[in-house]
């Protein structure tokens, strides 16, 4: 059944099942790797693309014990050091701190952290505990802009906003989409750019809401940002932009927001009626 690939072709499917039924197989693969390592031979590293992810999803005593028992031949593979951080126990964090001193290119080392952590990977849990984030704090200075942005997004999605605010917001690159999320004037400049791209206000609103919606911004947060944009710009175009955003993603309770801008003559009664109709038709169910 194993064939030339030492059974890796079928072994990879243990990720789809309860790995507690495959603990002996996991230990067997690691033992085979250990034997080759101790003989000075090149170990079969194909399991290195499977076992770290399985142990990360387990995130239990078996995962910790297995990693610590076999660390002597696993430290050379970037996935296993990252697993130390994901498990985030006192022993694994201490072991990583020692290993960190031996890493030559620290920035390069962390580039694939999200793979082991399962961030942005279908079927994976990603961040689950605040201790996993606290374990990263000594190494944030080595994270590149892309990793900071991805981690920022994961924190937002998983409810770790307080930690994100203290540890990531000030590290976000100014040319990144994340910076536009947390910096109001940068966000307003982005809307200005959307409106200047030779498109209708409706298309600009759709594009902006669609992209921001995919980046974990809630409809409420988007409408609040659009309202702030009107307050900042105080133009008919800005108010029309808000009206279109409400039309696309707003609730019936959001319709009252628009009345303020009718009184200041930034919106017409006809525009508000059209938005009212769109929202009520979209929310019939």
Residue range 136-149, pLDDT digits in tens: 999 999 999 999 99
In the predicted model, what is the mean pLDDT of residues 198-217? 79
Q: How many CB atoms lie within 10 A of CB 182?
A: 17
pLDDT, residue 177, reads 76
For the whole model, what pTM was predicted? 0.68
In the predicted model, what is the mean pLDDT of residues 22-26? 89
Look over the chain and give the mean of its residue pLDDT values, rounded to a whole number.
88
Q: How many CB atoms lie within 10 A of CB 179?
A: 18
Residue range 240-278, pLDDT digits in tens: 999 999 999 999 999 999 999 999 999 999 999 999 999
8 A C-beta contact, residue 70 and residue 76: no
Cα 132 to chain center, whole Å?
A: 14
Res. 8: pLDDT tops 70: no
pLDDT, residue 285, reads 64
In the predicted model, what is the mean pLDDT of residues 230-241? 94
Least confident of 6-20, 111-125, 211-225: 6-20
| Nearest-angstrom CA–CA distance, 107 and 144 | 7
Res. 2: pLDDT tops 50: no
pLDDT, residue 87, reads 98
| Nearest-angstrom CA–CA distance, 276 and 259 | 11
Confidence tier at 4 by pLDDT (50, 70, 90): very low
Q: How far is CA 39 from CA 35, 73, 74, 82, 230, in A?
A: 6, 11, 15, 26, 70
Least confident of 24-38, 111-125, 153-167, 197-211: 197-211
Confidence tier at 7 by pLDDT (50, 70, 90): low
* Nearest C-alpha neighbor of 120 from the set 96, 155, 93: 155
How many percent of the chain have pLDDT more than 70?
93
In the predicted model, what is the mean pLDDT of residues 22-40? 91
Residue range 189-204, pLDDT digits in tens: 888 988 988 678 999 9
| Nearest-angstrom CA–CA distance, 67 and 23 | 13
Res. 216: pLDDT tops 60: no
The full length of the chain comes to 285
pLDDT, residue 180, reads 73
Give the domain ranges of the chain. Answer: 3-143, 183-282
Residue range 55-106, pLDDT digits in tens: 999 999 999 999 999 999 999 888 999 999 999 999 999 999 999 999 999 9
């Amino acid at each position: 059944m194993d064939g030339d690939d030492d059974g890796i072709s079928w072994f990879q499917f243990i990720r789809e099942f309860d790995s507690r039924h495959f603990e002996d197989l996991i230990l067997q693969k690691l033992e085979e790797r250990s034997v080759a390592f101790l003989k000075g031979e090149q170990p079969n590293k194909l399991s290195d693309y499977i076992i770290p992810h399985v142990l990360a999803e387990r995130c239990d005593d078996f995962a910790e014990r297995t990693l610590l028992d076999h660390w002597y031949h696993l430290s050379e593979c970037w996935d296993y050091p990252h697993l130390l951080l994901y498990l985030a126990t006192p022993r694994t964090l201490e072991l990583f701190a020692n290993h960190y001193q031996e890493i030559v290119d620290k920035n390069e080392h962390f580039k694939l952290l999200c793979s082991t952590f399962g961030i942005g990977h279908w079927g994976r849990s990603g961040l689950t505990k605040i201790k996993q984030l606290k374990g990263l704090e000594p190494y944030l200075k080595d994270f590149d802009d892309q990793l900071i942005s991805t981690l920022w997004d994961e924190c937002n999605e998983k409810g770790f906003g307080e930690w994100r605010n203290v540890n990531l917001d000030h590290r976000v690159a100014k040319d990144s989409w994340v910076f536009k999320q947390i910096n109001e004037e940068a966000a307003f400049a982005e809307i200005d750019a959307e409106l200047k791209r030779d498109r209708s206000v409706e298309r600009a609103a759709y594009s902006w809401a669609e992209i921001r919606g995919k980046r974990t911004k809630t409809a409420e947060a988007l409408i609040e940002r659009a309202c702030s944009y009107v307050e900042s710009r105080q133009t008919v175009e800005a108010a029309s932009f808000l009206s279109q955003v409400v039309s696309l993603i707003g609730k019936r309770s959001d319709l009252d927001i628009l009345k303020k801008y009718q009184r200041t003559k930034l919106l017409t009664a006809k525009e508000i009626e059209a938005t009212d109709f769109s929202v009520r038709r979209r929310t019939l169910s």
